[in-house]
Chains A and B, each alone.
Chain A
Amino acid sequence: MKKKVKASLILENGTVFNGNAFGYIKETVGEVVFTTGMTGYQETLTDPSFAGQIVTMTYPLIGNYGINLEDNESDRPYLKGFIVRENCEVPNNWRCEMNLEDFLKQHKVTGLEGIDTRMLTKLLRQNGTMKGIITTRELTKSQIEQKFNTYTNKNAVREVIKDEPYFINGSGTHFAVLDCGIKSGIIRSLANRGCKLSVFPAYTSAEKMLSVDPDAIFLGNGPGDPLDLPEVVETVKELIASGKPILGICLGHQLISLALGCKTERLKFGHHGGNHPVKDLASGTVYITSQNHNFVVSDLTEDVEPTFINVNDGSIEGIKHKKLPIYSVQFHPEANPGPLDTGFLFDRFIKTVEEVKTHAQR
């Protein structure tokens, strides 16, 4: 028996889970969510969409193949805490460069292991997403309350974005990308297809983005509630007005929808995992997709039609504008982690932009 540092997770509804701390040991507060992906913990850890959240892995053995320097989805983890049933101390894989615990320590992420993660998952499913505190000490009721009351994730996007724009050269379609916390996977998916990318941090003006004369606009994923980003929605409206094709994934999809007058609402406990069936309404084919969102687009306006729906709960997973070249999806065709089945959407996106371009040139 090895000595471990005891720690607990305290939920908003008063439930306490006792386990052991690992990684960087420091008290942390966040919105507790779970993801059902059985592989891809490294991508999850470094996905900026999880900023401000405490992520619970439902699969019990995490860290088995360690961490490598290639599979990060951003420069570092932005999440507030990481809960696993069992952290693997002796990982093995030909690409393994360090173990999970050291990675968490390095990036100051608090880990909690040894709790009944299934019970926690079921609680979140039944009660909806809740705030939680991971702590190694006894907290008084008022301390707990104070921590919950001061927690906010409204500025998540500001925390994850870079200060300056950056550019990736390419001979293909030129995208102006609005980065609200975009995963490297999306950037890579576009760059690998030869696209030229001008990546601007969120809150950049439409004017500045359009100044690089892109062929199209791309909005990627990011953390938090889209309703907390009214300035960005305004920017998207201006971008739409420019007549450029606009494409979006995840938060980008939600921002586009809001800009088009649709609504977004909070899901009870979100979709997080790599096994979500999504139906392509045009072909009838169902794809298994990677998903990571707490909010969903609803109440489509007349000009907007759904392109994909979720087979499980019927929620909207993709839209297009009936007249304008605007397309977006809620799920993650870039995967990382998750199934690669919808990677073709990037080709479809690019083709659409190229068609608009050719048309315009004529």
Chain B
Amino acid sequence: MPRDNSIKKVLVIGSGPIVIGQAAEFDYSGTQAVESLKEEGVEVVLVNSNPATIMTDIGMAHHTYIEPLTLDFVEKVIAKERPDSIIAGMGGQTGLNLSCELYDAGILDKYNVRVIGTSIESIKEGEDRESFKELMERTNQPIVESDIVTDVESAVEFAQKVGYPVIVRPAYTLGGTGGGIAENEGVLREICTQGLHLSRVGQVLIERSIAGWKEIEFEVMRDGAGTCITVCSMENVDPVGVHTGDSIVVAPAQTLSDKEYQMLRSAAINIINSIEIKGGCNVQFALDPNSYNYAVIEINPRVSRSSALASKATGYPIAKVAAKIALGYNLDEIKNAVTGKTFACFEPALDYVVLKFPRWPFDKFFGAKRKLGTKMMATGEVMSIGKSFEAALLKGIRSLEIGQYGLERKSSKTRSLEELKKRVVSPDDERLFDLAEMLRRGYKTEKVCQITKMDLFFVDKIKRIVEAEEELKTMSVSDFTEQSLKYYKEKGFSDKAISNFVGCKPPEVYALRKKWDIMPVFKTVDTCAGEFEAQTPYYYSSYDTENETRISNNKKVMVIGSGPIRIGQGIEFDYCSVHCIKALKKAGIETIIVNNNPETVSTDFDTADKLYFEPLTEEDVLNVVEVEKPDGVILQFGGQTAIKLANFFDEMHIPIYGTLPEQIDEAEDREKFDAVLEKLGIKRPKGKGVWDVEEGIKAAEKLGYPVLVRPSYVLGGQGMEITHSEEELEKYLVEAFEKDKKNPVLIDRYLGGTEIEVDAICDGEDVYIPGIMEHLERAGVHSGDSISIYPPQTISEDIKKQILDETKRIAIALKVIGMINIQFIDYKGELNIIEVNPRSSRTVPYITKVTGVPVIDIATNVMLGTKLKDMGYGTGICDIPGVVAVKVPVFSTEKLPRVEASLGPEMRSTGEVLGVGYNLENALYKGFIAAGMTVPKAGSTIIATVRGKDHEEFVKIAQKCSNMNCSFIATSGTAKALKNAGIDCKVVKKISEGVPNITDTIRSGVVDLIIDIPKKANDTNSDGFKIRRTAIESDLTLITAMDTLNAMVNVMEKNINKDKLDIFDINADMR
């Protein structure tokens, strides 16, 4: 059917903040959908609470609302914009659920909005547990049998029916406590009895165990005429038992015969046909490795993480095609954008291997429980493309930026074989390396397969890499012949890995490669394995014969992306990279992007003129440079990943646009930077690097407590603490030096003032500041985790002037060309500088949207040599809008067992939302709601446990709550403080005081807000840590900083009526 012309205005719902399990992939699919709809002349209305996305850019959709993704606010958007249609499947689970809620609440009917694409009825059939069961029965598809039981006998009866082993999962306990696998009746009785006891509702789910089966996914599409295609099959290298988001995934499936493959493919198609999907759908199967038996695990009737991966793995733009199908087109009417000739109605053929690796946050959360299971823990992922499994695997490993270039890992090497065996059976993030270590020590390959249930095909490939590594170890660099070096390069080893194993420096290997002309070629990802001529400029490297890149004589610039999403380096940097590309394109320059993150917009093949899907290491990036010979590279937008490459580029004499490496170094090296500040007469908190405990204590005495302490060798606030007394400091220092004697600990005076942040653009002469942002939480909370307010609310004009002045002087002194980010503290009217980043920062998308200043566009042009004043941006600061916009951080801590949940100097948030209002409280209200927090109403019950030194401040705030008829439950110390101030409160036992204690009260569901202001973070044995974990695991709003609490109480006092709040179209309403 051709396009349905009655569709004129479509509402697209985004997926909200980045959290574990819902990351940048939905910005990619959402952006594609919006553009695909616009291409067809549709007026697009977009709602998404996440300001860091490309999709929420000014001018992307026709009307963009960065508002909370709740029923009320989306209804407001519908009432205001009156779209005629809504597309449900573009915003992940959030968008899907919200669409269903809008439908169920009758809002879609009320405003005559029809659902295009897959219908709500179809969605529900796939999503609801019961109807899914029915659907599978109707389509004759096997599922994993399960039953909910309330007594042990029923459990035993069920297990007898389906056979052992069975999995027992108690209902409503978190992190699977009390569950387990029962191999026989005796064990089942034991686990079940315990599970029933632990479950709040006395229920356990009994499920037939399919652990160890192959996990296979299909991405399928169906149009309104019933034509179905499968875009891609994917196989998890880790069998069933590890969440697919935490598994190494390979595309296409590697170990299935055609019979097995077609059996599952047909099943996937039958399923989507019978629920009448119109668009994309993901179907997950478990396949018995020893028979044709299989089970459908789940289906996702929407775009997903897997569909983003499938799109990047094949070149087939699933979201784009799904949007066209929603408009009425059939698959054979949609052009294949890759070939430009064939149609979207075909199945991509791959002539390479794609691997996806999860990126876990355990480098930041070292206390976390790292065991992988059915709940996803990875924050991001990388994808690698190679001609062989080994080459793709090695590319993937070096893309992760975990200091690995091969399979030999320090930590694995120290483990005994017994220990390794135990670890690979119960996998964590190091399984691949542990497994490789076992093979290295001669442990039997078949046995590894047996205990891990991993397919021999994969284990054998890993073994081959290990064997090659061992061969290399016996060689020296002079042993290489042209043939042997070529062999290892074809295998996929990087120069760095080779040099590590043979014991030389990477440039020596590089020199040999130059001598023998062993250079990679670039192959095209074309959806059709070379069968048709392709127009896609999408490449990956391979040591092969024919190079396929077509090199132009145009002026061209290479942009280095930011790699996998991790704590501290999120989607914001992809936003910056994409905007840089857009600006370059606008300037008539050919653009080249190098990146390895499949979730992103930057790795969409039509973002840049050329896409190289490659690891972001020196060697891999150099390969691209040597083929493309760009006029220069831009590093400022790819976060630390790109900045890290600066010195290398300098050494290789590759021109860098923007601030030069020497200056970058000046800003990042503490001593050099101190010298710059000294010269400029700009203040920073006094500090000292110390080498032992005694020296530290002396230094602190001089500086005065509290002091900020951190190890000198880490970035991103890791291991940073504020110590208030000699006792605390001593404890910290003893531990720090025990861990590492070779590096100093930095001790700075801690200034508990207001933190202020600016992003500025400097052209070497002038400096332009789009805006000053004020942090709600005082210094001590990582800037990425504090609520950021624009325009600033409490900063004096004097300080603002001073900020402007100092920013300008620093930028000029550091010879910044392009972006600079500076953080200040306003401590009792005195401005101190705490950090300078000579690159684009995480606040850039936020400040761009709230000020309307095209920050990246300007910065890119500055880097190309245009002066600020010639662009109409002189010196100074952008005008301030008539609204207040707050950026509120969002955490995924509930998904990461044993991770600290309080705010502190270490960054922990994964994403952010925006709240916009005519005043601060309205903006904060929206920000809190959008971040999933509850703003308590008058009369709420609040549980509080506050450290002694904050009692005075707390009591003042508590008084306000008390005036609003809120009641308090507190632990003894806090209760005493409240009672002394005449505030009534119930005392609750601390955990150490027996049961029922504070955690039981939290779990009981009577509490609306939990306040826990900790003395010390990261102490997993402390009461506070357990209270905070209980709070977030019970999905309750937890506040851990006095300033956040104060702000929330101020919002409560306003008694905001959400029905009366305005919504803002950022395209039009912000000024």
Taken together as a complex, chains A and B put the C-alpha atoms of A61 and B391 apart, in Å, by 12
> Which residues on B sit within 8 Å (CB–CB) of A71?
257-259
Smallest CB separation, B193 vs chain A (Å): 37
With A122-B546, A125-B533: A38-B349 Cβ-Cβ less than 8 Å: yes
With A125-B533, A275-B349, A277-B332: A119-B544 Cβ-Cβ less than 8 Å: yes
Binary per-residue interface labels of chain B (228-257) against chain A in the complex, 1 for a CB within 8 Å, 0 otherwise: 111000000000000000000000111111
Most interface-central of B265, B348, B523 (chain A CB within 10 A): B265
Query: Does B456 interact with chain A (Cβ within 8 Å)?
Result: yes
Taken together as a complex, chains A and B put the C-alpha atoms of A279 and B223 apart, in Å, by 14
> Which residues on B sit within 8 Å (CB–CB) of A37?
258, 349
Taken together as a complex, chains A and B put the C-alpha atoms of A118 and B290 apart, in Å, by 34
> Which residues on A sit within 8 Å (CB–CB) of B350?
38, 59
> How many of B's residues come within 8 Å of A, CB to CB?
57
Binary per-residue interface labels of chain A (332-351) against chain B in the complex, 1 for a CB within 8 Å, 0 otherwise: 00011111110000000000
Q: Which of B227, B265, B351, B533 contacts A60 (CB 8 A)?
A: B351
- B349 touching A40 by the CB < 8 A rule? no
- A64 touching B229 by the CB < 8 A rule? no
Which residues in chain A, 258-297, are within 8 Å of chain B measured between CB atoms? 273-277, 279, 284-288
Taken together as a complex, chains A and B put the C-alpha atoms of A125 and B529 apart, in Å, by 11
Query: Does B553 interact with chain A (Cβ within 8 Å)?
Result: no
Query: Does B538 interact with chain A (Cβ within 8 Å)?
Result: no
- B523 touching A61 by the CB < 8 A rule? no
Query: Does B112 interact with chain A (Cβ within 8 Å)?
Result: no
Q: Which of A43, A60, A341 contacts B258 (CB 8 A)?
A: A43
- B346 touching A339 by the CB < 8 A rule? no
Query: Does B6 interact with chain A (Cβ within 8 Å)?
Result: no
Binary per-residue interface labels of chain B (205-244) against chain A in the complex, 1 for a CB within 8 Å, 0 otherwise: 0000000000000000000011111100000000000000
Query: Does B657 interact with chain A (Cβ within 8 Å)?
Result: no
> Which residues on B sit within 8 Å (CB–CB) of A64?
254-255, 457
Q: Which of B226, B229, B346, B533 contacts A312 (CB 8 A)?
A: B346
Smallest CB separation, B438 vs chain A (Å): 17
- B388 touching A119 by the CB < 8 A rule? no
Query: Does A175 interact with chain B (Cβ within 8 Å)?
Result: no
With A39-B261, A65-B256, A335-B262: A94-B289 Cβ-Cβ less than 8 Å: yes
- A59 touching B343 by the CB < 8 A rule? no
- A277 touching B343 by the CB < 8 A rule? yes
> Which residues on B sit within 8 Å (CB–CB) of A312?
341-343, 346, 532
Stretch from A84-92, A200-208, A240-248, A322-330 forming part of the interface with B: A84-92
Smallest CB separation, B551 vs chain A (Å): 18
What residue of chain B has the Cβ atom nearest to residue A89's Cβ? B460
- A59 touching B269 by the CB < 8 A rule? no
Taken together as a complex, chains A and B put the C-alpha atoms of A65 and B225 apart, in Å, by 36
Taken together as a complex, chains A and B put the C-alpha atoms of A27 and B773 apart, in Å, by 74
Taken together as a complex, chains A and B put the C-alpha atoms of A116 and B546 apart, in Å, by 7
- B343 touching A311 by the CB < 8 A rule? yes
- SS class, residues of chain B in contact with chain A: loop
Binary per-residue interface labels of chain B (338-364) against chain A in the complex, 1 for a CB within 8 Å, 0 otherwise: 000111011111111100000000000
Q: Which of B227, B528, B531 contacts A286 (CB 8 A)?
A: B227
Taken together as a complex, chains A and B put the C-alpha atoms of A64 and B235 apart, in Å, by 13
Query: Does B389 interact with chain A (Cβ within 8 Å)?
Result: yes
Which residues in chain A, 113-142, are within 8 Å of chain B measured between CB atoms? 115-119, 121-122, 125
Taken together as a complex, chains A and B put the C-alpha atoms of A60 and B352 apart, in Å, by 6
> Which residues on A sit within 8 Å (CB–CB) of B389?
61
- A277 touching B349 by the CB < 8 A rule? no
> Which residues on B sit within 8 Å (CB–CB) of A36?
349, 351, 528-529, 531
- A277 touching B456 by the CB < 8 A rule? no
With A36-B529, A58-B349: A118-B546 Cβ-Cβ less than 8 Å: yes
- A39 touching B258 by the CB < 8 A rule? yes
- B530 touching A121 by the CB < 8 A rule? yes
What residue of chain B has the Cβ atom nearest to residue A343's Cβ? B266
Query: Does A358 interact with chain B (Cβ within 8 Å)?
Result: no
Query: Does A1 interact with chain B (Cβ within 8 Å)?
Result: yes
- A93 touching B255 by the CB < 8 A rule? yes
Taken together as a complex, chains A and B put the C-alpha atoms of A50 and B350 apart, in Å, by 22
- A65 touching B255 by the CB < 8 A rule? yes
Query: Does B545 interact with chain A (Cβ within 8 Å)?
Result: yes
> Which residues on A sit within 8 Å (CB–CB) of B289?
94
- A118 touching B257 by the CB < 8 A rule? no
Q: Which of A60, A68, A286, A337 contacts B387 (CB 8 A)?
A: A60
Q: Show 27 residue pairs from A and B whose CB-CB distance is below 8 angstroms, ordered by the A residue.
A: A37-B258, A58-B349, A58-B530, A59-B350, A60-B387, A61-B389, A65-B256, A68-B257, A90-B457, A90-B460, A92-B457, A93-B256, A93-B257, A116-B545, A116-B546, A118-B546, A125-B533, A275-B349, A277-B229, A277-B331, A277-B332, A286-B332, A287-B227, A288-B347, A311-B343, A312-B342, A312-B532
